[in-house]
Amino acid sequence: MIKLLWETALTDVAATDIEGVGRLRYGNGGQIYRWVKNRSTTTAIVAKQVVCYNEGNVGASALYESVNEPETENLMLNAGMAVTAIVASASDALCFGWICVQGYFQDALVGGATAVAIGDSLKGANDSNNLALSVATGSAPAYSSHFISLETADSSSLAQATDVYVKCL
């Protein structure tokens, strides 16, 4: 196996594309990460929040290069979980960083009107940093890219730290 060297730690952010935007990084515990840019010029990405790809890039390799918070038009394009905060992509901003696209992710932001049980399928919530229940309990996931709850979460509008399995590769 070839060992790859990375210039950044998984918690680092950068003002320039030093890792190759869209590039995958394989972690020791089976996790897979992607180096991305915060597409928004005004909204920062919060650490441990869900992010989505831009629907305007569907059908192009650019799809896997930039992310933003969940919005109605991109909810079907779950990208993963932000490892750390990534600022808005204004000039000279630290707008590049890592997201987890597959594997165990600790303390994801989960919240919503419905309680979450272990094994429930989750997705990004519209205009929110949180994951929320994606389908009724016992139903098949409605999205191919989704998250599986590894802990319970009460129904609440406040985000709760909940371990999840990311399935967005």
- Answer yes or no: are the C-beta atoms of 36 and 65 closer than 8 Å: yes
Task: State percent of the chain over pLDDT 70.
Answer: 92
Of 155 and 152, more confident:
152
Rounded to an integer, the average pLDDT of 51-73 is: 89
Going by C-beta distance under 8 Å and a sequence separation of 6 or more, which residues neighbour residue 43?
A: 68, 69, 88
Q: How confident is the model at residue 138 (pLDDT cuts 50, 70, 90)?
A: low
What's the pLDDT tens digit per position in 67-81? 999 988 888 899 999
